[in-house]
Structure 1
Amino acid sequence: MATHALRSLWAEPRPTNAPDRGPRDWALVAVLICWSLVEAVLRQDLAPRPLLLLATLAVLGPLLWRRTHPLVAVAVSFGTLTIVDLVRILTGSQGALLNSISAALILAYALFRWGSGREAASGLGVMLLWLAITYVADPMSGWKTVAGYAFFLFAAALGAAVRYRTKIRIRDIDHAKAREREQLARELHDTVAHHVSGIAIQAQAGRAIAASHPERAIEALATIEDAATRTLTELRAMVGVLRAPQDTELAPQPGVADLDRLAGGVEAPHVQVTLSGELEDLSPAVGAAVYRLAQESITNARRYARQATRVSVVVVGDAEGVRLTVDDDGAPSTAGGRTAGYGLVGMRERATLLGGWLRAGPTADRGWRVEAMLPRGGSAR
């Protein structure tokens, strides 16, 4: 996993959402300038003033664009510091640089936080080169040398860790959004397919009996109007969720208690719903899933089951979970007719997300059966 993470960081391009310099960056630079001025006044063991000024500008200036151009900032800063130290070595200048140049640690962090993998590798080489030269210009004991390298490597590692954590967080957010879109697509499919199938059947029935039984045709039109109204209401609710920025009040999702809505009706096949067992205190996700799975199964039966006269919906609850069984007595329109589209795929996906399972297929004698088992306390995964 660590190897995969390193490869991801190496191949990943520079983030495009890095914030530009703002008031905080200018405030940071102002504080460091004040620190440098105080240090330059109080300390007596410093290098010549031109070298101090050049080294200070080399660290403070690039801080302003460390997020948008991290490699350039590191190259300018540490490249200039390297030149300053080489001049000190070649000229034999005595004195140390200002402690305020330790702000270069911020550049090391920024390189691994905002730079791409290749930029980080290139910038790290520039930093290590400067560290080797600066310890020649300012000889230190062994433990101080090790501590200096450790500080810069820690800053770089911290930047890489924050970068990787941010990347994982963004990916998790994208996955959550994708799951929401999938759930919405299933809800739209279930709602529209069920109601529109009923509307189509009622329209066909009304047209067939319009001449001989006008009053029944009027009843069919009333049923069509009612189904269309419910469909529009549910669609508006779901589209409203997409448009609302936050704190949207959602209408309750249908559950097991609403399964009776699917029963009856004048259209064929006749739907019969039977509820038994422990069906109280189900989680809202499980109740809504049972309703949607039954609704989609009935819709598929009306679409694909030829000459079907009945659809039986049986829901049985116990201490462990809820079992849903939907049977029809029709013949499938084609050998694989019921496996087409997103209907069964969405049903299996919905059941799996709740920790359950779903099976669908022809029965031994005639008809089609859908079986699903969901845990009582299932929650979307």
Structure 2
Amino acid sequence: MASFDPLDPQSVPPEFTKESTDWLAIFNPRVPRQMDVQLAARFVHDGVICSVKFSADGSLLAVGSDGVVLLYDLVNGAKITCPFESAECDSRSKPNHVRAVTISPDGTLLVAGTEDNLIRVFSIVSFNMTHIHTLAAHTSEVYALSFSASGSILASASGDRTIKIWSIVRDGDETKVVKKYNLQHSLSQSDSNAGFASDSDSVDGSKIAFTSVAIDSSERYVVAGSLDGIVRVWDLSVSQVPPTHNNDGESLSSNVTPSLHLKGHTDSIYGVLFISTSSYSADFGIVSASLDRTLKVWDVRTEGRGEGECVKTLIGHKDSILALSCTSSGRELRLASGSRDGSVRVWDLRKGEPMFGVVGHRDTVTMASCSLLGAEIVKYAYGDIRYFEVLYGPTSDSHCMALLPRPWRKTLVQAWK
């Protein structure tokens, strides 16, 4: 028997919907409606949009396209376009999509991961971008990037079945990026029987390309999602071999295998993140998003050999979930998920309820991320980026969001074909 979907447009009363020409907002009738959604701006692009990311303060928006990174100042609408050469300079007819972008917490660095296996680091000074480093450590496409909360560590996830951990070293005006750890999957017997992958799939590693990565607030744990449907957690403090360095200061990085495997999804995982947990028996929480159309919330204990338990499964999307992000304010914990069904849903994670959804009349939503201000959502297709404001409060009054940097709004960005 199919479960009831509170965001089903066929059953939601009209007063809980808001429709425009090519998007529809649906609000959960079971949740007191203290929000509204409105289109604030549009950014038009000729090329494919592959990735987006807000800065931590919500003032900047980074966009990854084909061979170019764009940076928007959301306060005054200014834009920087920063093209770069592909590693295959003699073959620019081949696309070099920017699969991942991220901005350091202090807003001074933008990092882009591309299909030519490289990671490019740009400095941001007075809304000017300068290319300062190219990191060539991966042997396949770079699919995901994540900064730690302090900005001192960067994680990169790749189709080469590794996670690289980079140390960001500031020396006056100079920024150095040094590889510190090489996180690998393990091919233990427990792995070969895990998830939905067959023994042969796991043993040869063909389904263990990493698609998503996150670093916890203590900078000790790293979580990653992969094509084999398993969530892997690494404890960087238990590395048996300390990293060594060559004469140029580059780390010869020690290899670390996962300390924990979380199994429960039945298809590939395309989003992972750390969250705080209200459980007294757990050290932290993890959320994962999968092609199996579900989101799973895990409580993780690190004592002894470590263990994880799935405490919630969120359902409602009609197709694969390709994007995931989260934001919090006080005890409120909001999760944004983007799906191939053309929608993004914003969830109250404590209650396990969807608060509202934004549905496109066409196309897939393949990227979602949240900042302290809210969430941005982008669809991987040719088209324009639409920048939405989500207004909160019984009458959308500003005082209702007093704990947020911009207390009167959260934001959504969505790109449509």
Query: Which TM-score band (shorter chain)?
Result: under 0.3
| TM-score with structure 2 setting the length | 0.19
Determine which structure has the larger helix proportion and give its number.
1
Task: Return the TM-score normalized by structure 1.
Answer: 0.20
Q: As a proportion of its length, which structure holds more strand? A: 2
